[in-house]
Structures are given as structure tokens and as C-alpha cells.
A and B are shown apart, each in its own frame.
Chain A
Amino acid sequence: MLIDWFTVVAQLLNFLILVWLLKRFLYQPVLDAIDAREQRIAKELAQADATRDAAEAEQTHFREQQAALEAQREALLATATADADVEGKRLIEAARQRATELEAQQTQRLATQATALRQALAERTQREVFAVCRKALGDLADAGLESRMVATFVRRLQAARATDEAALLAGFKASVAPLVVRSAFALSDADRAAVQAALKDDLGIAQAPQFEIASDRVAGIEIASAGQTLGWSIADYLDALQASVAELLAAPAPVPPAGEAKPSIKLKARSDAE
């Protein structure tokens, strides 16, 4: 008999025991370990996916932020450029205006200086001219300049009756205000008498004039009453001389030939209000 039934039963039991033993010591632990590893790998993969997603989201966010910053930077730059242009134009305009003001001030200062210089020069010229004239007349003709001037003044007054000054002389005659004879130098008694005689006899002015000395004047003689003045001067002569000097100051130009300026001595009416 090849089959021993006791052995069959024993082997059946042995096999069942072996099944249990191997389940307990082999399959279960190994499969559990494999499952744990698979879970761990799956978990790590999921974590990696999550990390990658987060990184991609972060990257997207960062790119958007960067683009926004770039746009903002461009906008700020454009604004700053525009502001800088405006500010530059404003500064240039302000500088131009300031330069214009400074130029005007400088021009004004130069004009003031030129005027002062011209006045000083005129005065000096007047003094020098009269000093020369006086000396020349005294040395060559044995005549006083002042006396000659008074004589000329009287002669002119006499001649004025037929000229434009006639109305003015009529005003003097009708005026009740005191009549003043103003001269740059002290008149001698003879000169005063000559003037008084001319006024009384030739012009018909009965009022006795008062004689005054105008120390601020270089030369000349005039009569004045109620704000009206009649006198003679060498103003035109001096004006021509001043114009010539001004041209010399402004630009180097050839000096005009002598005799071009022709000073004239004539009576000139003016108002004190001028």
C-alpha cells in the first residue's frame, strides 16, 4: 500500500501548520514591509508633487509680481522723466528770467553810472570851458567874461521883443510875483544896473528885480517869475559834446571832426515844473 493514511493526516496537519507559520513569519511581514514602502514612496511622490505645484504657483506668482514691478517701474520712470523735463524747463525758464533780470539790473547800473559820469563830465566841461574862456578873454581882450555875458543877455532881451519870447515877456510884465535875476556868478553893480535898465526901459517891467546867485550853475543868466523862466545857456553846445562822449563810451568810433557840433547860444524858455 503506497498510501499510509496516518501519514496523510499527519502531513495534512503539517501542511496546515506550515501555512500558518509562513503566513505569520514570512508573507505578512514581507507584504507589510512592501506596503509600508509603497505608501512611503507614494507619500513622498505626493509631497514632491505638492512641492512642485507650490513651487510652480510661487514661480507664477513671482513672475506676475515681477511683471507688475516692471510695469510700475516703467510708469514711475516715465513719470519721473516727465517731471524732470517739466522741472528742467522750469529751471531753465527761471534761470533765463533771472539772467534777464540781472542783465536789466546791470544795464540799469551801467546807465546810472553813464548818466552820473556824463553829468560829472558835463559839469567839469562847463567849468573848464568857462575857465578857458574867462582866461582867454582876460588875457587877449582885457574883458571879463561875466560882463560880456551880461551884455549879451541884455542885448538878447532887447532883441526878444520881436521873437517868440514876446508873449513870455508880456507875462513877466503883468506878473505881480517878484522878478528874480539868477546868475551863476555875482553881478557887478554896473551889470546889475544894465540889467535893470534893460528890463525897465526896453521891456517895460517896472518891478525892481531881485538878484540871486545860483552856486550850482556853471554859467548863464536868467530871469524868473511865477514859475516862468527866461534865460540863455550853452546847453546845446554841451549836449553835442555829451553825445560825442557817449559815443566814445559806447563803442570806439572815430572822433567827429571839429566844428561838426555847432553850439548855439540863444534864449530858451522853460518851465520850472520840467
Chain B
Amino acid sequence: MHLSPDDIILWQFGLFKINATIAFTWALMAVLTVGAWAITRRLSRGLARSRWQNLLEIIVTGIETQIADIGLVAPRKYVGFLGTLFLFVATASLFTIVPGYEPPTGSLSTTTALALAVFVAVPMFGIAECGLREYLAAYVKPTVIMLPFNIISELSRTLALAARLFGNMMSGTMILAILLTITPFIFPIMLSALGLLTGMVQAYIFSVLAAVYIAAATRVRPPVPGGAVADTASANTL
């Protein structure tokens, strides 16, 4: 029994290898990209449109609305990053209904990679929005004493982000595998349904937290006392 799909090595050449995590990620990427391309290649700009186009429009406008609700002023700028985070995590959870599928988000390497992406994206968006000086100045507000705490906050929330998603996804798969060995009927189906729900919730939480971090970083100019700390605290409770 393996804890992570990283352990399933499909091909290896020296340092380079293709494990189940990477393979399933590619598969998800292919499904998402081909699906999007298939639908969007014949987009209607008029009032009449296909059901698939309606679905995509609902998803995209829903993401945009969520981002705007969180407080980001120009949501379109963040739709690419935050939307992809949500869609990738959600799709990874959704495909757990396929037998033999191992969600890439059940690998700590994947969640770490996603958390690192957020870790890098937050200051990038913050600097792009407010400028380097303003962004860095936010770390010493309200006093310089807060600098180490702010840095710890940045690091810890990234770690929390990665660990939370990994724990939830891995546990779901693990519980399912364990239950399958104990009670092969009924319970695995219920747990699978619960896992789907958990996966969707986690996808939402992950992307919303990333949006909150970015919103906090881009709202440096009007100081929000303890905003980042409060965000971190609320994220850790989830």
C-alpha cells in the first residue's frame, strides 16, 4: 500500500521519471484543454447558444463573481490563475469516481507545487498592483516588530495550504481503500460520494484562500490591521 501516487513509478531515466501523479495530471490537463477547446471553438456571440457553452459561461462567470466578491477589484486579471487552481483541484477530485484513478492532489508533491505557485503569485500580484516598495512596506506594518511574524505567516500559510489539500485528498482515498478491504459494499459508495463533496469543498477553499491572500497583498495601500493574520487564522481553522 502506498500513501502517494508519487510512489507508482511508470517510467524512470535517472532523475527523470514519470509517476502516476504526473501521468494523471497530464490526463486531467488533456481532458480540460480538449474539452474547453471543443466547446469554445464554436462559441456563439449572439443570444442563442449551446448547453455546453452555457455551462462554461456559468463556470467562468461564477469564478469571476466569486473573485469579485472576495474583494479583488479587477477580477479578470486573476481568473486565469485562481480559476485554473479551482478547476484543476475540482477535476482531480471529480475523477475519483473512475476506478483505478489516483487524484494527483493526493500527492503532497502536487499540493506543494500548487502552494508554491500561490506563494510566488501572491507577492507577484501584490507588487504588480502596488509596487515593490509599498508591498515590502506592508511587512513592517504597523511596526517593525511585526516583520518576523509576517514572514512566518507567509510561510506557514503556504505550508498549511499544501498540507490541508494533501491531507483531505489523501485521507479520502486512503479511507476508501481501507473500507474496500473491510466492507466492500455500500460504505465505499457513501464514502466516495462524501469524498466528492469534500473534494469540491477543498477545491473551493484552496482557490478562495489563494484569492484572499492575493486580495490582502493587493490591498496594501489602505492598511488593513492584522488582515493577513486574520486570513491565516481563518484558513487554519478549515
| Chain A residues near B (Cβ < 8 Å) | 2-12, 14-19, 21-23, 25-27, 29-34, 36-37, 40-41
Specify which chain A residues have a CB less than 8 angstroms from the CB of B236 in the assembled complex: none
- Cβ of A15 and Cβ of B57 under 8 Å apart? no
- Cβ of B19 and Cβ of A4 under 8 Å apart? yes
| With A6-B15, A33-B45: A22-B83 Cβ-Cβ less than 8 Å | yes
| With A18-B29, A21-B33: A36-B45 Cβ-Cβ less than 8 Å | yes
- Cβ of B19 and Cβ of A33 under 8 Å apart? no
- Cβ of B81 and Cβ of A11 under 8 Å apart? no
Bound CA span A18–B82, Å: 12
Q: In the complex, given contacts A11-B104, A18-B29, A21-B29, what are 12 additional A-B residue pairs having Cβ atoms less than 8 angstroms apart?
A: A2-B4, A2-B109, A4-B107, A8-B113, A10-B113, A11-B113, A14-B113, A16-B117, A19-B81, A26-B36, A27-B80, A37-B46
CB distance from B166 to the nearest CB of A (A): 8
CB distance from A32 to the nearest CB of B (A): 8
- Cβ of A27 and Cβ of B116 under 8 Å apart? no
Bound CA span A25–B87, Å: 14
Specify which chain B residues have a CB less than 8 angstroms from the CB of A14 in the assembled complex: 22, 25-26, 29, 113
In-complex Cβ contact of B22 among A7, A19, A27, A29 (8 A): A7
Specify which chain A residues have a CB less than 8 angstroms from the CB of B88 in the assembled complex: 15, 18
Bound CA span A19–B85, Å: 8
In-complex Cβ contact of A31 among B15, B25, B60 (8 A): B60
- Cβ of A11 and Cβ of B114 under 8 Å apart? yes
- Cβ of B53 and Cβ of A33 under 8 Å apart? yes
Name which residue of chain A comes closest to B112, CB basis.
A8
Bound CA span A204–B40, Å: 161
- Cβ of B36 and Cβ of A22 under 8 Å apart? yes
Q: Which of B36, B53, B81, B116 has the most CB of A within 10 A?
A: B36
Bound CA span A12–B26, Å: 12
Bound CA span A105–B18, Å: 140
- Cβ of B21 and Cβ of A27 under 8 Å apart? no
| Chain B residues near A (Cβ < 8 Å) | 3-4, 6, 15-17, 19, 21-22, 25-26, 29, 32-33, 36-37, 40, 43-47, 49, 53, 56-57, 60-61, 64, 76, 79-81, 83-84, 87-88, 104, 107-110, 112-114, 116-117, 166
- Cβ of B84 and Cβ of A3 under 8 Å apart? no
| With A26-B60, A40-B45: A8-B116 Cβ-Cβ less than 8 Å | yes
Bound CA span A25–B36, Å: 6
In-complex Cβ contact of A25 among B40, B61, B107 (8 A): B40
- Cβ of A21 and Cβ of B79 under 8 Å apart? no
7 closest pairs, A vs B, by CB? A7-B109, A11-B113, A26-B36, A29-B40, A36-B45, A12-B113, A25-B36
Bound CA span A3–B104, Å: 13
CB distance from A23 to the nearest CB of B (A): 4
- Cβ of A6 and Cβ of B80 under 8 Å apart? no
- Cβ of B43 and Cβ of A12 under 8 Å apart? no
| With A2-B108, A22-B36: A17-B29 Cβ-Cβ less than 8 Å | yes
- Cβ of A8 and Cβ of B57 under 8 Å apart? no
- Cβ of B117 and Cβ of A15 under 8 Å apart? yes
CB distance from B42 to the nearest CB of A (A): 10
Bound CA span A26–B112, Å: 25
- Cβ of B108 and Cβ of A30 under 8 Å apart? no
Bound CA span A247–B60, Å: 126
Bound CA span A5–B112, Å: 9
CB distance from B16 to the nearest CB of A (A): 7
- Cβ of A15 and Cβ of B113 under 8 Å apart? yes
Specify which chain B residues have a CB less than 8 angstroms from the CB of A25 in the assembled complex: 33, 36-37, 40
Name which residue of chain B comes closest to A36, CB basis.
B45
Specify which chain B residues have a CB less than 8 angstroms from the CB of A17 in the assembled complex: 29
In the assembled complex, 22 residue pairs joining A and B whose CB atoms fall closer than 8 Å, in A order, are A4-B6, A4-B107, A6-B16, A6-B17, A7-B107, A8-B110, A9-B113, A10-B113, A11-B104, A11-B107, A14-B25, A17-B29, A18-B88, A21-B29, A22-B32, A22-B83, A26-B83, A29-B40, A31-B64, A32-B43, A33-B44, A41-B47
